[in-house]
Amino acid sequence: EVQLVESGGGSVQPGGSLRLSCAASGFAFNVYSMNWVRQAPGKGLEWVSYITNSASTIHYADSVKGRFTISRDNANNLLFLQMNGLRVEDTALYYCARGYQWAFDMWGQGAMVTVSS
Amino acid sequence: QSALTQPPSASGSPGQSVTISCTGTSSDVGGYNCVSWYQQHPGKAPKLLIYEVTKRPSGVPGRFSGSKSGNTASLTVSGLQAEDEADYYCTSYAGSSSWSVFGTGTKVTVL
């Protein structure tokens, strides 16, 4: 079955860190670019970060630049998002999404991150 | 990286058509044929409906169609069905510095 499964979400205090993982299965992970997209409770979607299949090119939204780091392990079909310096406004459901022709053609079910004191 | 502008809501009766707009700038929607559309039901992950302005992935019904004119892209849902009641989002490539930007989202209600 083709799927993406996120893990690593949780609750953290402002200034803290979390590392999200996304396990891919059922497709050739090393061929596809990948993204992280988030959705704050009751709000819309926000693109967070992008990484090419070889990790040669990486982009971040201005809102997370300098605090979040995207990476991938093609040998184990894993995508990561290291989140440092977390803020209350980073509270959201974080989706990993496969890239296809400038779109996101496959999504996981999301990992919830709550930043609160 | 300003969000693309969508109407907050749209509605139609079963069998009717509804069109959702997505307005950006020449730096995103107007500058590239890289607009995509997503459907999201409550508590579910988004689903890709349209990519590259007009293309439908395999399995997406032909009732969903996309278009673009200048800085505004549109999604039309023809022959509305009850299961089309959901939130809809557009997104566009925004160049190598901004990469990707989502729309504000539109809630579609089937009357």
pLDDT digits (tens, 9 = 90+) for A89-116: 999 999 999 999 999 999 999 999 999 9
User: How far apart, in Å, are the Cα atoms of B49 and each of A42, B20, B46, B91, B109?
Assistant: 22, 13, 9, 11, 18
Residues of B in contact with A106 (CB under 8 A): 48
Structure tokens at A117: 């004191």
Q: Which of A101, A105, A106, A112 to mutate to test the interface with B (most CBs of B within 10 A)?
A: A101
User: Helix (H, G, I), strand (E, B), or coil: what is residue B82?
Assistant: helix
pLDDT grade for A83, boundaries at 50, 70 and 90: very high
Contacts of B43 by beta carbon, 8 Å cutoff, 6+ apart: none
Please give the Cα distance from A7 to A81 (Å, whole number). 10
Please give the Cα distance from A43 to A40 (Å, whole number). 5
CB contact (8 A) between residue A95 and residue B46 = yes
User: How far apart, in Å, are the Cα atoms of B100 and each of B1, B29, B71?
Assistant: 8, 10, 15
Predicted confidence (pLDDT) per residue in B55-103, tens digit: 999 999 999 999 999 999 999 999 999 999 999 999 999 998 889 999 9
Cα–chain-centroid distance for residue B25?
Answer: 16
CB contact (8 A) between residue A103 and residue B48 = yes
Residues A89 and A20: beta-carbon distance below 8 Å? no
CB contact (8 A) between residue B104 and residue A44 = yes
